[in-house]
Chain A
Amino acid sequence: DIQMTQSPSSLSASVGDRVTITCQASQDISNHLNWYQLRPGKAPKLLIYDASKKETGVPSRFSGSGSGTDFTFTIRSLQPEDIATYYCQQYDNIPLYTFGQGTKLEIK
Protein backbone atom coordinates (compact mmCIF):
# COMPACT_ATOMS: atom_id res chain seq x y z
CA ASP A 1 0.00 0.00 0.00
CA ILE A 2 1.07 3.57 -0.66
CA GLN A 3 1.62 5.62 2.50
CA MET A 4 1.20 9.38 2.53
CA THR A 5 3.18 11.36 5.09
CA GLN A 6 1.85 14.88 5.59
CA SER A 7 3.52 17.63 7.60
CA PRO A 8 3.18 19.51 9.77
CA SER A 9 0.28 17.97 11.67
CA SER A 10 -0.70 21.41 12.93
CA LEU A 11 0.23 24.93 12.04
CA SER A 12 -0.48 28.37 13.50
CA ALA A 13 -0.11 31.40 11.25
CA SER A 14 -1.23 35.01 11.00
CA VAL A 15 -3.64 36.51 8.51
CA GLY A 16 -1.67 37.43 5.40
CA ASP A 17 1.04 34.82 6.00
CA ARG A 18 2.21 32.37 3.37
CA VAL A 19 1.43 28.82 4.51
CA THR A 20 3.02 25.65 3.15
CA ILE A 21 2.06 22.03 3.77
CA THR A 22 4.01 19.09 2.43
CA CYS A 23 2.97 15.56 1.52
CA GLN A 24 5.38 12.73 0.78
CA ALA A 25 4.39 9.47 -0.89
CA SER A 26 6.08 6.17 -0.04
CA GLN A 27 6.59 5.53 -3.75
CA ASP A 28 6.41 7.40 -7.04
CA ILE A 29 2.82 8.46 -7.69
CA SER A 30 3.51 10.78 -10.65
CA ASN A 31 1.06 13.70 -10.27
CA HIS A 32 -1.76 11.55 -8.88
CA LEU A 33 -2.46 13.72 -5.87
CA ASN A 34 -5.38 15.82 -4.64
CA TRP A 35 -5.78 18.32 -1.79
CA TYR A 36 -8.95 18.81 0.27
CA GLN A 37 -10.16 21.29 2.87
CA LEU A 38 -12.27 20.17 5.84
CA ARG A 39 -14.05 22.72 7.99
CA PRO A 40 -16.07 21.54 11.02
CA GLY A 41 -19.70 20.89 10.18
CA LYS A 42 -19.19 21.48 6.46
CA ALA A 43 -18.80 19.17 3.52
CA PRO A 44 -15.18 18.55 2.58
CA LYS A 45 -14.03 20.55 -0.43
CA LEU A 46 -11.71 19.62 -3.27
CA LEU A 47 -9.16 22.39 -3.81
CA ILE A 48 -6.39 20.94 -5.99
CA TYR A 49 -6.32 17.88 -8.26
CA ASP A 50 -3.61 16.28 -10.38
CA ALA A 51 -1.12 17.87 -7.93
CA SER A 52 -1.38 21.39 -9.35
CA LYS A 53 -4.71 22.00 -11.06
CA LYS A 54 -7.17 24.25 -9.27
CA GLU A 55 -10.77 23.10 -8.96
CA THR A 56 -13.33 25.50 -10.40
CA GLY A 57 -14.14 28.34 -8.02
CA VAL A 58 -11.12 27.87 -5.76
CA PRO A 59 -9.48 31.18 -4.85
CA SER A 60 -6.20 31.99 -6.56
CA ARG A 61 -4.31 32.10 -3.25
CA PHE A 62 -4.41 28.29 -3.12
CA SER A 63 -1.88 26.33 -5.18
CA GLY A 64 -0.24 22.94 -5.39
CA SER A 65 2.98 21.61 -6.87
CA GLY A 66 5.17 18.54 -7.04
CA SER A 67 5.42 15.15 -8.69
CA GLY A 68 6.87 11.77 -7.95
CA THR A 69 7.03 11.50 -4.18
CA ASP A 70 7.15 15.09 -2.93
CA PHE A 71 4.26 17.53 -3.04
CA THR A 72 3.52 20.98 -1.66
CA PHE A 73 0.28 22.84 -0.95
CA THR A 74 0.50 26.62 -0.48
CA ILE A 75 -1.83 29.36 0.68
CA ARG A 76 -0.29 32.57 -0.60
CA SER A 77 -1.96 34.98 1.84
CA LEU A 78 -3.86 33.34 4.70
CA GLN A 79 -7.43 34.48 5.25
CA PRO A 80 -9.59 33.87 8.36
CA GLU A 81 -11.93 31.61 6.36
CA ASP A 82 -9.01 29.30 5.57
CA ILE A 83 -9.06 27.89 9.09
CA ALA A 84 -9.56 24.19 8.46
CA THR A 85 -7.81 20.86 8.28
CA TYR A 86 -6.14 20.07 4.97
CA TYR A 87 -5.56 16.59 3.55
CA CYS A 88 -3.60 15.22 0.64
CA GLN A 89 -4.88 12.10 -1.16
CA GLN A 90 -3.17 9.81 -3.63
CA TYR A 91 -5.05 8.07 -6.43
CA ASP A 92 -2.13 6.25 -8.06
CA ASN A 93 -3.09 2.95 -6.48
CA ILE A 94 -6.77 2.97 -7.42
CA PRO A 95 -9.10 1.93 -5.92
CA LEU A 96 -7.05 1.97 -2.71
CA TYR A 97 -7.11 5.72 -2.23
CA THR A 98 -4.97 6.93 0.68
CA PHE A 99 -5.13 10.19 2.57
CA GLY A 100 -2.40 11.94 4.51
CA GLN A 101 -2.81 12.40 8.25
CA GLY A 102 -4.07 15.96 7.86
CA THR A 103 -2.76 19.41 8.80
CA LYS A 104 -4.82 21.50 11.19
CA LEU A 105 -4.41 25.17 10.38
CA GLU A 106 -5.13 27.80 13.03
CA ILE A 107 -4.92 31.56 13.17
CA LYS A 108 -2.23 33.00 15.43
Chain B
Amino acid sequence: EVQLVESGGGLVQPGGSLRLSCAASGFTVSSNYMNWVRQAPGKGLEWVSVIYSGGSTYYADSVKGRFTISRDNSKNTLYVQMNSLRAEDTAVYFCARGGGDGFKFDCWGQGTLVTVSS
Protein backbone atom coordinates (compact mmCIF):
# COMPACT_ATOMS: atom_id res chain seq x y z
CA GLU B 1 0.00 0.00 0.00
CA VAL B 2 1.26 3.43 -0.93
CA GLN B 3 1.48 5.56 2.21
CA LEU B 4 3.07 8.73 3.57
CA VAL B 5 3.44 9.48 7.29
CA GLU B 6 4.65 12.86 8.53
CA SER B 7 6.27 13.52 11.89
CA GLY B 8 8.28 16.16 13.68
CA GLY B 9 5.72 18.87 14.21
CA GLY B 10 5.35 20.75 17.46
CA LEU B 11 5.58 24.08 19.23
CA VAL B 12 8.59 26.26 18.44
CA GLN B 13 9.47 29.85 19.29
CA PRO B 14 9.76 32.52 16.61
CA GLY B 15 13.22 32.39 15.10
CA GLY B 16 13.57 28.73 15.96
CA SER B 17 14.07 25.65 13.80
CA LEU B 18 12.29 22.39 13.21
CA ARG B 19 12.77 19.43 10.88
CA LEU B 20 9.79 17.55 9.55
CA SER B 21 10.00 14.01 8.22
CA CYS B 22 7.78 12.12 5.80
CA ALA B 23 8.27 8.36 5.72
CA ALA B 24 7.12 6.66 2.56
CA SER B 25 6.06 3.08 1.99
CA GLY B 26 4.89 1.24 -1.10
CA PHE B 27 6.97 3.34 -3.49
CA THR B 28 10.43 4.91 -3.81
CA VAL B 29 10.77 8.56 -2.79
CA SER B 30 13.82 9.16 -4.98
CA SER B 31 11.95 8.09 -8.14
CA ASN B 32 9.20 10.66 -7.67
CA TYR B 33 8.66 14.40 -7.37
CA MET B 34 8.00 14.97 -3.66
CA ASN B 35 6.30 18.05 -2.26
CA TRP B 36 5.51 19.84 0.95
CA VAL B 37 2.18 21.65 1.15
CA ARG B 38 0.84 23.53 4.17
CA GLN B 39 -2.50 24.76 5.48
CA ALA B 40 -2.52 27.59 8.00
CA PRO B 41 -5.39 27.67 10.50
CA GLY B 42 -8.58 28.73 8.74
CA LYS B 43 -6.73 29.17 5.44
CA GLY B 44 -6.36 27.28 2.20
CA LEU B 45 -3.61 25.07 0.85
CA GLU B 46 -0.25 26.58 0.00
CA TRP B 47 2.45 24.74 -1.94
CA VAL B 48 5.78 25.06 -0.09
CA SER B 49 8.52 23.09 -1.84
CA VAL B 50 9.36 20.28 -4.25
CA ILE B 51 12.33 18.00 -4.82
CA TYR B 52 12.52 16.38 -8.23
CA SER B 53 13.70 12.84 -8.84
CA GLY B 54 16.91 14.29 -10.27
CA GLY B 55 17.51 16.26 -7.07
CA SER B 56 16.53 19.78 -8.15
CA THR B 57 14.68 21.73 -5.49
CA TYR B 58 12.26 24.67 -5.63
CA TYR B 59 10.54 26.80 -3.02
CA ALA B 60 7.64 29.18 -2.62
CA ASP B 61 8.81 32.76 -2.19
CA SER B 62 7.36 32.77 1.34
CA VAL B 63 9.90 30.18 2.54
CA LYS B 64 12.84 30.65 0.16
CA GLY B 65 16.12 30.97 2.04
CA ARG B 66 14.62 29.60 5.26
CA PHE B 67 13.38 26.10 4.34
CA THR B 68 15.43 23.27 2.83
CA ILE B 69 13.86 20.17 1.31
CA SER B 70 15.86 16.95 1.15
CA ARG B 71 15.50 13.19 1.11
CA ASP B 72 17.32 10.15 2.48
CA ASN B 73 17.13 7.40 -0.11
CA SER B 74 18.30 4.73 2.34
CA LYS B 75 15.40 5.55 4.64
CA ASN B 76 12.92 6.32 1.84
CA THR B 77 12.11 9.50 3.71
CA LEU B 78 11.49 13.12 2.72
CA TYR B 79 12.47 16.03 4.98
CA VAL B 80 12.04 19.74 5.28
CA GLN B 81 14.39 21.73 7.50
CA MET B 82 12.65 24.90 8.64
CA ASN B 83 14.79 27.73 10.03
CA SER B 84 14.04 31.29 11.14
CA LEU B 85 10.45 30.30 11.78
CA ARG B 86 7.77 32.97 11.92
CA ALA B 87 4.26 33.05 13.34
CA GLU B 88 2.91 32.92 9.79
CA ASP B 89 4.59 29.52 9.31
CA THR B 90 2.08 28.04 11.75
CA ALA B 91 0.24 25.38 9.77
CA VAL B 92 -0.43 21.73 9.19
CA TYR B 93 2.32 20.49 6.89
CA PHE B 94 1.54 17.74 4.40
CA CYS B 95 3.91 15.80 2.22
CA ALA B 96 2.57 14.78 -1.17
CA ARG B 97 3.82 12.65 -4.02
CA GLY B 98 3.78 14.11 -7.49
CA GLY B 99 2.33 11.17 -9.41
CA GLY B 100 2.47 10.47 -13.12
CA ASP B 101 4.70 13.13 -14.60
CA GLY B 102 4.73 14.87 -11.24
CA PHE B 103 1.84 17.16 -12.02
CA LYS B 104 -0.83 15.57 -9.84
CA PHE B 105 -0.44 15.11 -6.09
CA ASP B 106 -1.77 11.56 -5.94
CA CYS B 107 -0.73 10.49 -2.46
CA TRP B 108 -0.74 12.63 0.68
CA GLY B 109 0.08 12.16 4.32
CA GLN B 110 -2.30 13.18 7.08
CA GLY B 111 -0.13 16.11 8.07
CA THR B 112 1.81 17.31 11.10
CA LEU B 113 1.05 20.54 12.97
CA VAL B 114 3.71 23.20 13.41
CA THR B 115 2.94 26.02 15.82
CA VAL B 116 5.27 29.02 15.97
CA SER B 117 4.57 30.99 19.12
CA SER B 118 6.29 32.44 22.14
A76-103 contacts to B, CB under 8 A, are 87, 89, 91, 94-102
Known: A95-B58, A102-B45. Contact between A44 and B106, CB under 8 A?
no
Majority secondary structure of chain B interface residues (helix, strand, loop or mixed): strand
Q: A36-B45, A50-B104, A96-B58 are in contact. List 14 more A-B contacts (CB 8 A).
A: A38-B39, A43-B111, A44-B37, A44-B96, A44-B105, A46-B104, A46-B108, A55-B104, A89-B105, A91-B103, A91-B104, A95-B50, A97-B50, A98-B47
Complex-state Cα separation, A44 to B47, whole angstroms:
13
**B110 within 8 A of partner (CB):** yes
Interface size for A (C-beta < 8 A) is 25
Complex-state Cα separation, A5 to B47, whole angstroms:
16
Q: Within the complex, which residue of A42, A91, A94, A99 is in contact with B44, where a contact is CB–CB below 8 Å?
A: A99
Are A49 and B47 in contact, CB atoms less than 8 angstroms apart?
no
**B72 within 8 A of partner (CB):** no
Classify chain B: how many residues form its interface, as a range: 20 to 34
**B88 within 8 A of partner (CB):** no
Interface pairs A-B: 6 shortest CB-CB: A49-B104, A95-B58, A97-B47, A99-B45, A91-B103, A43-B108
**A45 within 8 A of partner (CB):** yes
Closest to B109 in A: A43
Q: With a CB–CB cut-off of 8 A, which chain A residues contact B103?
A: 32, 34, 49, 91, 94
Complex-state Cα separation, A54 to B41, whole angstroms:
29
